[in-house]
C-alpha cells in the first residue's frame, strides 16, 4: 500500500508518453473573446491540449486543497485558543470555589462552636447534672 501511489504515478507517465507518441495529428485551437477583442489561434498536436487540460485540473485541485487546508487550520487554531481560554476560566472558577468551600467549612465550625456554647448556657439540665455529681462526690 505504501508504494501504490508511486506505481500509479509511473503508470500514468507510461500512459502519457504512449498517448503522446500515438497522437501526433495536428489540431487547430481557436479561442476568441469578442468583448475584450481578443483572439487566439494555434495549431498543435492532439496531446498538447489534452495534457494541458489535465495539468490545469491538477493545478486547480492543488490550489483548492491548500486553500481549504488553510481555512481548516485557521479554524483549528481558533478552537484551540477558545479551549485554552475556557480552561483558564474553569481553573479560576475552581480556585474561587475551592477558597469558598474552605471559608464555608471555617464558618461552619465557628457556628457549631457558638451553638455549643449557647446550648450549654441555655440548657439547665447539664447544670443540674453537674450539681448532682458534685453533691454525690461531697457526700
Q: What is the pLDDT of residues 21-68, one digit of tens each?
A: 887 888 888 888 888 889 989 898 888 888 888 889 999 999 999 999
Residue 108, class by beta-carbon neighbours within 10 Å (0-12 exposed, 13-18 middle, 19+ buried)? exposed
Helical axes 47-122 vs 4-22, angle rounded to 10° = 160
User: What is the average per-residue pLDDT within 3-26?
Assistant: 86
pTM, rounded to two decimals: 0.47
Q: What is the mean pLDDT of the chain?
A: 83
Phi and psi for 134 in degrees, rounded to 5?
-65, -40
Share of the chain above pLDDT 90, in %: 25
Domain chopping of the chain, boundaries: 18-124
Q: Which of 73, 51, 69 is nearest to 61 (CA)?
A: 69
Question: Computed over its alpha carbons, how large is the radius of gyration of the chain?
Answer: 45
The length of the chain, given as a count of residues: 139
Q: Which of 4, 3, 48 is nearest to 26 (CA)?
A: 48
3-class secondary structure, 34: coil
Amino acid at each position: 500500500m505504501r508504494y501504490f501511489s508511486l506505481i500509479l504515478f509511473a503508470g500514468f507517465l507510461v500512459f502519457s508518453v504512449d498517448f503522446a507518441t500515438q497522437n501526433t495529428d495536428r489540431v487547430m485551437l481557436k479561442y476568441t473573446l469578442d468583448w475584450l477583442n481578443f483572439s487566439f489561434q494555434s495549431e498543435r498536436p492532439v496531446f498538447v491540449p489534452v495534457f494541458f487540460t489535465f495539468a490545469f485540473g491538477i493545478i486547480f485541485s492543488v490550489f483548492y486543497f491548500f486553500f481549504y487546508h488553510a481555512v481548516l487550520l485557521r479554524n483549528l487554531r481558533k478552537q484551540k485558543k477558545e479551549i485554552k481560554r475556557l480552561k483558564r476560566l474553569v481553573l479560576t472558577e475552581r480556585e474561587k470555589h475551592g477558597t469558598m468551600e474552605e471559608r464555608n467549612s471555617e464558618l461552619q465550625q465557628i457556628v457549631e462552636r457558638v451553638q455549643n456554647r449557647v446550648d450549654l448556657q441555655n440548657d439547665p439540665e447539664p447544670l443540674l447534672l453537674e450539681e448532682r455529681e458534685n453533691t454525690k462526690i461531697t457526700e
